Structure 1
Amino acid sequence: MALSGLFLVLFLLQHFSINFLSVLSPELFNETSHFMGTNVLVQFLLQPVLILGIIFHFVMGIYLEVKNNKARPVKYKKFNGGSNSSWMSRNMIFTGLVVLAFLGLHFYDFWIPEIVHKYVEGSPEDAGRYYGELVEKFEDPIRVGLYVISFIFLMLHLLHGFSASFQSAGWHSKYKPWIRKATVAFSVIIPLGFIFIALFHYITNV
């Protein structure tokens, strides 16, 4: 669970880096997206591994939640979870399910149309189409709102899950202060960055 989470964090950083190019330079964003969309290694090795990683992480999350609940069939007579754990740690399954629902929307918006374009319709490749397709999605205020809400929940999920992954993987406690600061910064900056991208394209193209 921890290792799959760390793997998905690396993907998240890579995905953000490419998407942020759409703010800096539409041409560079198109070039990078075209490379990622046509590179054989990315399409037929890294992409399937990523999808399997996502499925594994969320299936394991649900499995562990069910297992933990079964481990204590009789509930506490009085339980104050907030006294020794954060809201994020107690609600990882909830924030995770929201993120999973968002991934479904994101796949519907971008991944499925890409697969249809290339492998179903067999349309000729257009290296300049990616920026326009991205902007078109963010012209809808409802969709932008859903993206913003989803990234807030992603932030909450990462605030506990990212640092906890290092602990689960067995890193020594002497690294904990550095890990905590780095993971909190990442967990806040990256989701806010995605929110900025969505709002930027909505505001500048409204």
Structure 2
Amino acid sequence: MKYLLPSVTALALALPGMAAAHPHIFAEARLEVVAADDGSISELRHVWRFDEVFSSSVLLDFDQNTNLKLDEAELAELGEIMRASLADFDYFTTISVDGKSAAIVKPDAIHVSFEENQILIFFAVRPEAPLPLKGKLAFGVYDPSMYTAIDFPTDEDLVAQGKAADACQRQVVRPDPDEIIAQNSETLTEAFFEDPSGNDMSKLFATRLELTC
């Protein structure tokens, strides 16, 4: 499958080593961190809009009936392949509580649409274990392979919803990669840049929403 569908496997870094230089795929994103009434995080809702070049390559790969659009069945197939492939990269989602990483579970589905020549995907992930709004929590989105650049156009594209979140202080952090590398030169080894997905350092580079509760 990964050889038949190069654009999707690129998204999931099925071509190791190519990502080290710079991003090849670009997406604008929105992240909604949803708090439940019991004071815990219920889910993280993602929306990604991919660039037209990548979207066009996906259209070529998945337009099986060559009608120059993606039908419902074709979109569903694309969503299932993304759901399976991105699992190896935790769906580009990082969660930390007081500096310690928290795991997520696989989304029930990834919904895909094709609008104005661009691929949009919608999905939600949940914390694997109960995650109360206590301490300093950070929610980030970053491709550890560095193949895909996820951009939040404005700080308002990272939001926290729910009454329990209203009591927390909110900050959007946009790290400077050069500063991160300089500050962590002893930790960021050559192995990180050869296979950044194989470690836990990618959260340092993630644009993230921080909540202090």
TM-score norm. by structure 2 comes to: 0.26
**RCO higher in 1 or 2 (8 Å CA, sep ≥ 6)?**
1
Q: Please, what TM-score do these two structures have when normalized by structure 1?
A: 0.27
Structure number with higher helix proportion: 1
Which structure is higher in strand share? 2
